[in-house]
Amino acid sequence: MELELFTYIILFGVSILAGFIDAIAGGGGIITIPALLAAGIPPHEALATNKLQGTFGSGMASLNFIRKGFISLNEVWVGICYTFLGAILGTYAVLLIDPDFLAKLILLMLLAIFLYTLFSPNMGAIDKRALISKNLFFLIFGLAIGFYDGFFGPGTGSFWTIAFVGLMGFNLKKATAQTKVMNFTSNIVSLGVFILNGHLLFLIGFLMGFGQIIGAYIGSNMVIKKEVKFIRTLFLIMVGLTLLKIAYDSYF
């Protein structure tokens, strides 16, 4: 599919912004998917291409967090395995479950996350005691959120972040870092399915992927340097925007 040069430039700029925001608070897809659709790309190709470019962003953010010592692969490999499995199951479950029903359910869950974060000003400020074991946590949420990302997607980062903070007692910086690794895992699975079905626009995907790398590198460094309050504020904004988008798609 050929686009005008100006459209390629716009999509590249959008991907940098999305990668930056996604590395900090998640929700980059609510920026990139409308941009791809506005460029005249059909929905299936837009979703597939979005997964390709988004994988670069989550991969870059994960790598940067690992390099800076915010993540140890020894701590998260169990979660990676369960998330991978959950994403595979979710991808195939698209054929069995009504997406409209899931969208309405997710809308309520995101609203709960938004309100909880809004009225918990000290959420994720410091590490706290974990409420469940690491292996049980990854069994439950790796399968559940991995399944959700393979099936539907919007808000995945928000669910991971709030789960890490609420149940594992992580501070918001550490939760954001580990969220990116789980996002990258489920993105790879979905991307593989899209590749097998031939919906990808590789030129646009790789171009935007390069922009994602730039944005994700800057954004992940921002997480490391900034105070938790900044991360929390951006997290609230992105959860709120995701809420509005899903509500609009579901009811209008």
Mean pLDDT computed over 42-56: 87
First-to-final CA distance of the chain = 29
Q: Is the pLDDT of residue 99 over 70?
A: no
Domain that holds residue 239: 5-251
Give this prediction's pTM: 0.86
Alpha-carbon Rg for the chain in angstroms: 17
Mean pLDDT computed over 40-55: 87
Mean pLDDT of the chain: 87
List pLDDT tens digits, range 118-176: 888 777 778 888 999 999 999 999 999 998 887 767 778 888 999 999 999 999 999 99
User: Helix 228-251 to helix 99-118 angle, to the nearest 10 degrees?
Assistant: 150
Give, in order, the Cα–Cα distances in Å from 173 to each of 41, 152, 164, 215.
Answer: 35, 26, 10, 18
Q: Is the pLDDT of residue 184 over 80?
A: yes
User: By C-alpha distance, which of 164, 170, 161 is closest to 129?
Assistant: 170
Q: What is the pLDDT of residue 216?
A: 96
Q: What is the pLDDT of residue 98?
A: 67
Give, in order, the Cα–Cα distances in Å from 21 to each of 1, 134, 202, 204.
Answer: 28, 28, 23, 20
What's the number of domains the chain is made of? 1
